[in-house]
């Protein structure tokens, strides 16, 4: 009897299965609950796939998206609605990086203890760092062109402006088929990659500053291009003899092609990676697109092109913004954020990562300021203490090149870094520079309020 | 005064939504706290129990040592795991069994020993009756067999009663106290469900909870009237039933009163099965007819039922639909349980294997793979307890794995469930439809739930049956859901612990098999609904809505009560004191009739004929080692 009775202990196997299974379930509940709860069929917080709780405000308290009368509505002004669409996300949840999707758990007031329960059933209010008026100015400045604009305070990491075009009015959703709205659900600032063109010369320059001791004493000579291994790397014109400052200011392909050949693909790839241009990073948990840099063989035109932002180089606008904000901030990139009120976490200083050395950053900044003085024209940017670099990225196929403008201003009360990309916009300084000026003027005005 | 009241009434009617929302906010925490208290008290009461053995007789050794016989079925031998362990080289490892039947007659069985068994100097063949004072000779060792007399039993019982009272004073856990907490839980839950009603209040909601409380206390009162004290296992069942009723009230309130009817039927079946197995002889005698009846029911279902969702497991008789496979679980437990003397018969084991095979095959043909799996696990457990042979168990698992593979390749719906397993989130609107909704709703509930009746998972198909765990998590919170799982989990430990002091192997096997069925169903239901196991669609015992499952679960619960030998704990076991009294009366009657006849009583000692099947050549030595 004792022996048979003892065998009832075999039930322990079932007990262990239950314990193990419950432990696994509770572990997943704690770690994945945030994702589970943000499932669009979760009718506690979604209605017809649209988040039915939570209010989103801009940094000045303007309502960007809220629930009214049981349905989700956006800002009152149509221009603001279009300008902030990609920040917020569309009602259908197609823009996965939008706040309505990415910050859904916050809007529900989700936490592990009380789940998505809220007594009133209205969820929480979330204040963003976004300024609706600056976004509207940026969207207007893009004037219907495809592209993206990003502005960040490089001291606090707060993103003031994040606009992607094309956009649409989420309160009156048009027919989104057809070429005009192709890729409309993509937030081009976060999720697209483009050839960087001459903006990448900042990377080659940083590598040269740190690896070529006599860089300042060198004289570069431009005959309208260089020949490498039988191939021709063209420049925009014959620049003649140039110092490194002038080479950057006129964005000379010959000079930077030579530097690229001298530095080699490994060094360039190393710097691109160090500056976060070939990696993805997170903004409050939202992942940015991953850029790429392909190592070309030594002494080839491809290597020269890769050093001037062509060949296979691809970058995400958000990564460029992070890089220039690091240059502005003495080499230290403060973690970007979209959320203004972080509760107790806002008492802590924001996190940051060092992308480049302080001296290198200062050298780069000096030369970026010289660009404005020498080429872009301070008169075009009234009142801005501007440091910048243009890019005109060839895309082939007979299309106009993409226009880039990236940099920062050091105005008191407005320590802002920016990036502008206009697809097929032509010349960087003319098209993208003009957009940047309008956006920054709007931002200065807002900061003076 | 009336003004104040009418003013308050007006305020309430105007702000009812706000008032109710505040009530829900608070009730969520109150309910969770009460659930945890109920489960904690119940489990503590089960764990605090000390092992105390009953004593039914004694063996005196020549050196004066006394070996107590703590069970109705005792093995004597040289093996240390014997109930009466005697270290002497001429003894076999399991030499003989001393077995008491329900009426108090004792027999000694020779378990195929090398050196034989003698009673009062006479060699026995197979088995022989044993009386108080008989001298057993096992391989040269002489033992005096003494039955426990009424006076000794009475003393022993008094001592155990004193100890129990002492313990209860120390721990302060009276079952009625726990029931008061459970009643508070039920009242709070009923209140929350009433205020969660959108429009007009359905009278069935408060009524069903009042009836639930009534049935529970009536069940407790009956137990007390039967002079039994333990109510832990029943408390667990009522706790789970309460949660199940809340789920029904939320998902299908028009079925509430039916569900209460099923609960009442379940409690009746619980007492019926308990009463039935209380008489061990009767249970042993009738177990094969019951088992056969179960199999016939399964066969009938297979032939006559129409397939519902790919499974032919419903039978309709006279307008009443039910799932016979649920009730056959009870028949299966009967088929698997056996007293110690029968465990030695190979024929018995072969019959059981054949019976299990027939059940599992029929269920597989019906397309009810979840239940087939439940039967198979119960079969594994029973065959292990009977044989102690892990090799057989592993062989069975291998064979079943092969059969399962064949089933999966032949039946596309089975295969698709395995393919989706672990990938629910990759197909949230196809193969993982139900699981991802269960998980999403569960995450919304957090630890305290969003309030009973407020969930949305109930709108998904089979929410209150196959996905009931998700629904409990959503509406009542993870803590209460985990408490429900833990409560049922604890019954396993109760059975493991009690089995050591159980009277008969019949009860040990019965209780273990019943618990294995309940727990394995719990495993399939809970982990299937959250994508940890393939989704099989079996019920969560006591919680899932539905009649057959609920009633059958109560029937299985009675088997758990049959191993509980704590003093005066379980109505399924007669108290030793009462048994002693009955025996005394019986022997007095016998003596009186002997005197009337005035001649020596003929040797018409009642010999249950069915025991004759255990011939010595049937013994399996592998069982003994």
- Tell me if A117 and B442 make a contact (CB, 8 A cut-off): no
pLDDT of residue B30: 96
Task: Tell me how far apart the alpha carbons of residues A325 and A350 are, in angstroms, rounded to a whole number.
Answer: 14
Q: Which residues contact A425 (CB under 8 A, 6 or more apart)?
A: A145, A147, A400, A401, A402, A403, A431, A432
Quote the CA–CA distance of A189 and A163 in Å, as a whole number.
7
String of DSSP letters for B392-446: HHHHHHHHHHHHHHHHHHH-HHHHHHHHHTT-GGGSTTTTTHHHHHHHHHHHHHT
- From the candidates B444, B452, B492, B526, which should be mutated to test the interface with A, based on the most A CB atoms within 10 A? B444
Are the Cβ atoms of B75 and A22 closer than 8 angstroms? no
pLDDT tens digit string along A111-128?
A: 999 999 988 888 899 999
The domain limits of chain A are 46-108+123-128, 137-447
**Mean pLDDT per 10-residue interval, chain B, length 625 residues:** 70 76 92 96 83 80 84 87 85 87 85 86 87 87 82 70 72 83 96 84 90 96 88 95 96 92 96 92 90 90 72 72 88 88 74 87 82 89 83 74 69 73 84 91 94 92 91 96 95 90 90 96 95 89 92 95 83 78 75 63 44 36 35
Q: Nearest by CB to A14, which of B388, B500, B523?
A: B523
- Identify all chain B residues contacting A44, using CB atoms and an 8 Å cutoff: 441, 444, 450, 455-456, 474
Question: Is the Cβ pair A113, B448 closer than 8 Å?
Answer: yes
ipTM > 0.95 (yes/no) = no
Contact assessment for residue B352 and residue B528, using Cβ atoms and an 8 Å cutoff: no
pLDDT, position B605 = 46
Instruction: Please name the residue of chain A whose CA is at the shortest distance from the CA of residue B383.
Output: A7
Nearest to A18 among B25, B445, B523 (CB): B523
Contacts of A24 in chain B (CB under 8 A): 532
Residue B610 carries which DSSP code? G
Question: Which 8-state DSSP code applies to residue A401?
Answer: P
* B435 close to A (CB below 8 A): no
Q: Does B75 touch chain A if contact means CB atoms closer than 8 Å?
A: yes
- The sign one gets for the Cα dihedral A360, A366, A371, A377 is positive
DSSP per-residue codes, B373-392: HHHHHHHHHHHHHHH--HHH
CA distance B121 to chain A (A): 26
C-alpha B92/C-alpha B116 separation (Å) is 9
Residue A219 near residue A241 (C-beta atoms within 8 A): yes
Angle at A234 between CA A233 and CA A237, to 5 degrees: 150
Query: Residue A8: its pLDDT value, please?
Result: 85
Tokens of B508: 């040990």
Report the chain A residue with the minimal C-alpha distance to residue B495. Answer: A8
What 3-state DSSP class applies to A138? helix
What distance in Å separates residue A398's CA from the closest CA in chain B? 41
Cross-chain residue pair A39–B428, CB shorter than 8 Å: yes
Q: What is the pLDDT of residue B619?
A: 36
Task: Decide if B418 touches A, using CB distance below 8 A.
Answer: no
Helices (H) and strands (E) in chain B, counts: 21, 13
Round to whole Å and give the CA distance between B137 and B123.
Answer: 9
Tell me whether B495 touches chain A (CB under 8 Å): yes
Q: What is the pLDDT of residue B597?
A: 57
B340 touches chain A (CB under 8 A): yes
**Buried/exposed B406-426: b ≥16 CB within 10 Å, e otherwise:** ebbeeeeebeebeebbeebbe
Instruction: Provide the pLDDT for residue B308.
Output: 62
Point out the residue among B73, B493, B515 whose CB comes nearest to the CB of A1.
B73
pLDDT attached to residue A427: 79
What would the two tokens of residue B346 be? 């190979």
Q: Does B153 touch chain A (CB under 8 A)?
A: no
Element (H, E) at A165: strand A159-165
CB within 8 Å: A4 and B340 = yes
Contact A365, A387 (CB under 8 A): yes
> Chain A contact for B378, CB < 8 A?
no
Task: Tell if the CB–CB gap between B75 and A2 is shorter than 8 Å.
Answer: yes
Number of other CB atoms surrounding residue B345 within 10 Å:
18
Q: Which candidate, A28, A62, A99, places its Cα nearest to that of A446?
A: A62
Tokens representing B411 are: 């039946």
Strand A402-409: give its sheet, edge to edge.
A159-165, A147-153, A416-422, A402-409, A386-393
The model's pLDDT over A228-252, given as tens digits with 9 standing for 90+, comes to: 888 888 888 888 899 999 999 988 9
Chain A CB contacts of B526 under 8 Å are 21-22, 25
Contact list in B for residue A1 (CB cut-off 8 A) is 70-75, 83, 340, 502, 504-505
Best of B71, B440, B457, B496 to disrupt the A interface (most A CBs within 10 Å) is B440
Q: Report chain B residues whose CB lies below 8 A from the CB of A7.
A: 384-385, 388, 508
In this structure, the number of other CB atoms found within 10 A of the CB of residue B458 comes to 19
Q: Pick the residue from chain A with its C-alpha nearest to B511.
A: A8
Q: Pick the residue of A2, A13, A105, A109 with the most B CBs within 10 A to test the interface with B by mutation.
A: A2
Which residues from chain A sit within 8 angstroms of residue B523, using beta carbons? 14, 17-18, 21
Residue B56, Cβ density class (10 Å: 0-12 exposed, 13-18 middle, ≥19 buried): buried
What is the C-alpha separation between A95 and B608, in angstroms, rounded? 80
Q: At what angle do helices B232-251 and B547-561 cross, to 10 degrees?
A: 170
Kind of pairing between the strands at B66-69 and B73-77: unpaired
CA atoms within a 13 Å half-sphere pointing along the CA-CB vector of B29: 7
Contact criterion met (CB < 8 Å) for B512 and A10: yes
CA dist B573 and B565 (Å) reads: 7
Q: Which residues of B touch A2 (CB under 8 A)?
A: 71, 75, 81-83, 500
Listed residue (B468, B410, B457, B454) closest to B433, CA to CA: B457
Tell me the C-alpha to C-alpha distance, in Å, between residue B11 and each of B17, B22, B199, B205.
Answer: 11, 15, 19, 25
What's phi and psi for B123, nearest 5 deg?
Answer: -65, 135
What's the rounded Cα separation, in Å, for the pair A72 and A63?
12
- Chunked mean pLDDT (size 10), chain A, 449 residues: 81 94 96 91 87 92 89 92 94 89 91 88 90 94 93 94 94 87 92 92 93 89 87 87 90 91 91 93 93 89 89 92 95 93 79 92 93 89 92 84 93 93 84 92 86
Pairwise CB contact (< 8 Å): B456 & A114: no
Contacts of A113 in chain B (CB under 8 A): 446-448
Specify the pLDDT at position B345: 67
Calculate the alpha carbon distances from A92 to A42, A65, A166 in Å.
14, 14, 17
CA atoms of B114 and B99, how far apart (whole Å): 20
Residues of B in contact with A116 (CB under 8 A): 443-444, 446, 450
CATH architecture of A137-447: 3-Layer(aba) Sandwich (3.40)
Alpha carbon distances (Å) from A361 to A249, A263, A265, A318, A358: 17, 19, 22, 19, 5
């Amino acid at each position: 009897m004792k022996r048979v009775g003892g065998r009832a202990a075999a039930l322990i196997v079932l007990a262990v299965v239950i314990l193990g299974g419950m432990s696994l379930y509770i572990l997943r509940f704690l770690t994945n609950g945030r994702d589970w709860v943000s499932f669009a069929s979760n009718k506690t917080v979604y209605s017809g796939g649209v988040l039915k709780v939570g209010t989103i405000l801009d940094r000045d308290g303007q309502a960007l998206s809220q629930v009214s009368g049981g349905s989700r509505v956006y800002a009152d002004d149509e221009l603001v609605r279009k300008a902030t669409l990609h920040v917020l996300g569309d009602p259908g949840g197609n823009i996965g990086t939008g706040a309505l999707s990415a910050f859904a758990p916050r809007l529900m007031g989700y936490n592990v203890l009380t789940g998505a329960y809220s007594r009133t059933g209205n969820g929480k209010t979330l204040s963003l760092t976004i300024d609706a008026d600056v976004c509207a100015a940026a969207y207007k400045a893009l004037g219907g062109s495809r592209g993206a604009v990003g502005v960040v305070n490089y001291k606090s990491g707060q993103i003031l402006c994040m606009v992607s075009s094309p956009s649409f009015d989420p309160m009156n959703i048009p027919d989104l088929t057809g070429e005009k709205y192709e890729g409309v659900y993509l937030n081009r600032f976060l999720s697209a990659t483009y050839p960087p063109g001459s903006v990448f010369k900042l990377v080659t320059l940083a590598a040269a500053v740190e690896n070529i001791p006599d860089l300042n004493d060198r004289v570069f000579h431009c005959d309208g291009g260089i020949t490498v291994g039988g191939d021709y790397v063209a420049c925009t014109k014959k620049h003649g003899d140039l110092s490194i400052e002038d080479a950057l200011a006129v964005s000379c392909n010959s000079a930077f092609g030579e530097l690229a050949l001298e530095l080699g693909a490994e060094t360039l790839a190393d710097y691109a990676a160090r500056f976060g241009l070939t990696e993805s990073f997170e903004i409050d948990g939202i992942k940015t697109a991953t850029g790429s840099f392909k190592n070309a063989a030594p002494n080839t035109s491809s290597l020269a092109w890769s050093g001037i932002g062509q060949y296979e180089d691809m970058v995400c606008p958000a990564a460029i913004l992070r890089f220039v904000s690091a240059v502005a901030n003495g080499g230290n990139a403060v973690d970007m954020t979209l959320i203004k009120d972080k509760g107790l976490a806002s008492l802590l200083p924001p996190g940051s990562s060092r992308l480049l050395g302080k001296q290198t950053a200062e050298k780069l900044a000096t030369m970026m300021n010289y660009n404005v003085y020498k080429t872009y024209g301070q008169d075009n940017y009234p009142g801005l203490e501007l440091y910048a670099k243009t890019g005109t990225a060839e895309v082939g196929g007979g299309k106009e090149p993409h226009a880039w403008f990236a940099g920062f201003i050091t105005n008191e009360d407005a320590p802002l870094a920016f990036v502008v990309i206009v697809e097929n916009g032509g010349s960087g300084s003319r098209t993208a520079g003009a957009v940047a000026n309008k956006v920054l003027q709007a931002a200065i005005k807002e900061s003076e309020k | 005064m009336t003004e104040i009241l009418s003013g308050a009434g007006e305020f309430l009617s105007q702000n009812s939504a706000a008032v109710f929302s505040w009530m829900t906010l608070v009730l969520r925490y109150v309910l969770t706290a009460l659930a945890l208290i109920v489960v904690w008290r119940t489990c503590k009461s089960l764990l605090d129990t000390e092992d105390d053995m009953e004593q039914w007789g004694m063996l005196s050794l020549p050196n004066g040592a006394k070996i107590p016989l703590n069970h109705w079925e005792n093995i004597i031998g040289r093996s240390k795991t014997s109930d009466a362990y005697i270290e002497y080289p001429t003894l076999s490892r399991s030499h003989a069994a001393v077995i008491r039947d329900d009426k108090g007659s004792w027999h000694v069985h020779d378990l195929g020993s090398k050196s034989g068994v003698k009673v009062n100097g006479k060699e026995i063949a197979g088995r022989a009756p044993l009386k108080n004072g008989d001298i057993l000779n096992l391989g040269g060792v002489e033992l005096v067999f003494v039955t426990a007399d009424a006076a000794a039993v009475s003393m022993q019982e008094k001592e155990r009663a004193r100890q129990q009272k002492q313990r209860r004073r120390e721990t302060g856990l009276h079952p009625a106290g726990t029931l008061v907490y459970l009643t508070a839980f039920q009242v709070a839950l009923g209140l929350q469900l009433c205020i969660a009603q959108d429009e007009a209040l359905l009278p069935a909601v408060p009524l069903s909870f009042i009836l639930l409380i009534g049935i529970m206390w009536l069940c407790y009162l009956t137990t007390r009237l039967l002079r039994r004290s333990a109510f832990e296992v029943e408390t667990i069942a009522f706790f789970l039933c309460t949660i199940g009723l809340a789920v029904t009230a939320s998902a299908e309130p028009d079925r509430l009163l039916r569900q209460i009817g099923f609960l009442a039927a379940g409690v009746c079946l619980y007492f019926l099965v308990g009463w039935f197995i209380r008489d061990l002889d009767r249970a042993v005698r009738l177990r094969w007819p019951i088992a056969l009846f179960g199999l016939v029911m399964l066969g009938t279902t297979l032939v006559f039922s129409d397939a519902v969702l790919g499974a032919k497991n419903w039978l309709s008789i006279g307008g009443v639909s039910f799932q016979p496979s649920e009730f056959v679980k009870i028949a299966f437990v009967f088929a698997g349980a056996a007293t110690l003397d029968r465990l030695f018969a190979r024929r018995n084991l072969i019959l059981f294997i054949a019976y299990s095979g027939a059940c599992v095959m029929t269920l597989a043909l019906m397309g009810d793979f979840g239940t087939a799996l439940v039967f198979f696990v119960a079969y594994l457990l029973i065959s292990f307890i009977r044989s102690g042979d892990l090799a057989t168990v592993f062989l069975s698992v291998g064979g079943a794995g092969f059969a399962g593979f064949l089933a999966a390749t032949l039946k596309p719906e089975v295969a698709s469930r395995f393919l989706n397993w672990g990938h629910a989130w990759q197909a949230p609107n196809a193969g993982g439809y139900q699981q991802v909704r269960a998980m999403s709703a569960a995450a919304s509930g957090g630890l305290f739930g969003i309030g009973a009746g407020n969930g949305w998972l109930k709108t998904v198909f089979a929410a209150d049956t196959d996905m009931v765990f998700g629904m409990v998590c959503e509406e009542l919170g993870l803590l209460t859901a985990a408490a429900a799982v833990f409560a049922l989990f604890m019954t396993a430990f109760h059975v493991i612990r009690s089995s050591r002091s159980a009277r008969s192997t019949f009860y040990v096997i019965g209780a273990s098999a019943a618990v294995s069925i309940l727990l394995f169903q719990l495993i399939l239901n809970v982990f299937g609904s959250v994508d940890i196991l393939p989704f099989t669609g079996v019920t969560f015992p006591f919680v899932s809505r539905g009649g057959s499952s609920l009633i059958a679960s109560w029937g299985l619960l009675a088997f758990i009560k049959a191993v509980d030998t704590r003093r005066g704990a379980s109505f399924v076991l007669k108290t030793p004191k009462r048994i002693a009294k009955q025996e005394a009366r019986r022997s007095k009657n016998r003596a009186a009739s002997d005197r009337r006849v005035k001649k020596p009583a003929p040797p018409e000692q009642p010999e249950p004929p069915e025991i004759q099947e255990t011939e010595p050549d049937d013994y399996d030595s592998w069982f003994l080692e």
